[in-house]
Amino acid sequence: MKFLDQCKIYIRSGDGGGGAVSFRREKFIEYGGPDGGDGGRGGDVWIEAVEGLNTLIDYRYQQHFKGKTGGHGMGRNMHGARGDEAVLRVPVGTEVLEEDHETLICDLSEPGARYRLAKGGNGGWGNAAFKGPVNQAPRHANPGLPGDERWVWLRLKLIADVGLVGLPNAGKSTFLAASSAAKPKIADYPFTTLSPNLGVVDLSPQERFVIADIPGLIEGASEGAGLGVRFLGHVERCAVLIHLVDGTQANVAEAYREVRHELEAYGEGLAEKLEIVALNKADALSRDDRLDLLTELGTAAGKAPLIVSGVSGEGVKDLLRSAYALVRHQRGEIVAGLEGAHEGPAVPPEDWSPST
């Protein structure tokens, strides 16, 4: 299924039904009074967050959604039926924005959350509503009020506990495949991942969280270079970021700083999120290279990095457990011994080794 995380749609609530002009006409009743019923109210347009969806692809092929017009009033004081409402079902984490693509209307961050985007027009009064001691035979009724109409943007921000960030070809997709049942595309060229991928990590029946793989960032991404910052919105809701750095590239410290600069330039609190730094592709590094690179990366990050390999599985479990501890901390759960879990010395101590 193709991934689609934003789209523009047109919505219109239903018009109200018109009131009826009618008079009572029955045998043996010489002067029947007005008995025109009121029109029914037009259908509303609602948006609802439901589980089981992870893309807005359904709104690629249908962009217009309208509530039904209310039924017209009839004689014998029969009111028109209310128009059927239109319900837009979207993934959890969908934001609704005004046509300017900036003003937030609502944020559906919880399953079952609903919001009325357009209210149906009221039905018109029938002539029975206008009768009185002076005007005993009114011959007019009100038409129904028109419904509301507008263009809105839908923007999806995936709900994930942990987000993977890094330069292209840092091994994020390989790590996601090694840590979850997700099957992202993996290849030896940059920008293999063109859209976010989600995976569920099962450390145990009681330890489970969702991890998101975001397409790689490059220098100038905050200004639109590469894939730009379009997909960074999907990590805004993450509690923890795992920053993977490719250990086989020339300058790991510069690679780390490059991604951090783009996170800070994007804003939205990404630079302040809890971060775990990991030196990836350990299977391709010798022991001496590991020590040198970990020291270099630790100096740039200001914390002791972990070392992992998505290919061999080395360090993956330890990294995932560290991430899960921070997720629980962000959820407000008490985690024993969490203090200092995400911080560390700027430079590893002399007796430090990758296995510790």
Class of residue 169 by CB neighbours under 10 A (exposed 0-12, middle 13-18, buried 19+): buried
Write down the pLDDT at residue 287: 85
Residue 128, CA distances (Å) to 3, 24, 121, 132 in order: 55, 10, 20, 9
Specify the length of the chain in residues.
356
Phi/psi for 222 (5° steps) reads -65, -15
Instruction: Give the global pTM.
Output: 0.75
Structure token pair of residue 107: 């944020």
Do residues 87 and 43 touch, judged by C-beta distance below 8 A?
no
List, for residues 312-326, the tens digit of each pLDDT value.
889 999 999 999 999
Do residues 219 and 142 touch, judged by C-beta distance below 8 A?
no
For the CA atoms of the chain, what is the radius of gyration? 30
Does domain 1-156 fall under CATH 3.40.50.10490? My reply is no
Superfamily of domain 162-330: P-loop containing nucleotide triphosphate hydrolases (3.40.50.300)
| CA–CA gap between residue 134 and residue 214 (Å, rounded) | 73
Do residues 348 and 299 touch, judged by C-beta distance below 8 A?
no
- The whole-number average pLDDT for the span 102-118 is 95
The DSSP secondary-structure symbol of 289 reads H
Higher pLDDT, 306 or 225: 306
> Residue 68 CA to chain centroid, in angstroms?
29
- What band does 57 get if pLDDT is binned at 50, 70 and 90? confident
- For the chain, report the end-to-end CA distance as a whole number of angstroms: 42
For β-strands 114-118 and 149-156, DSSP reports them as unpaired
Higher pLDDT, 96 or 290: 96
| CA–CA gap between residue 266 and residue 259 (Å, rounded) | 11
| CA–CA gap between residue 102 and residue 91 (Å, rounded) | 20
Do residues 271 and 263 touch, judged by C-beta distance below 8 A?
yes
| CA–CA gap between residue 231 and residue 163 (Å, rounded) | 11
| CA–CA gap between residue 190 and residue 172 (Å, rounded) | 11
- Residue 317, Cβ neighbours under 10 Å: how many? 14
Residue 198, CA distances (Å) to 56, 209, 223, 234, 273 in order: 15, 11, 26, 10, 19
Average pLDDT value for the chain = 84
pLDDT at 346 over 70: no
| Structure-token match 């193709």, residue found | 2
pLDDT at 189 over 60: no
| CA–CA gap between residue 80 and residue 288 (Å, rounded) | 82
List, for residues 195-224, the tens digit of each pLDDT value.
677 788 888 877 888 888 877 665 554 455
Higher pLDDT, 293 or 182: 293
- Identity at 354, one-letter amino acid code: P
Write down the pLDDT at residue 336: 46
- The whole-number average pLDDT for the span 92-109 is 94
pLDDT at 16 over 80: yes
Domain segments of the chain: what residues?
1-156, 162-330
At residue 154, the 3 state secondary structure works out as strand
Higher pLDDT, 186 or 120: 120
List, for residues 270-291, the tens digit of each pLDDT value.
888 899 999 998 888 888 888 9
Write down the pLDDT at residue 73: 96
Write down the pLDDT at residue 266: 80
List, for residues 118-168, the tens digit of each pLDDT value.
999 999 999 999 999 999 999 999 999 999 999 999 999 887 889 888 888
Write down the pLDDT at residue 217: 67
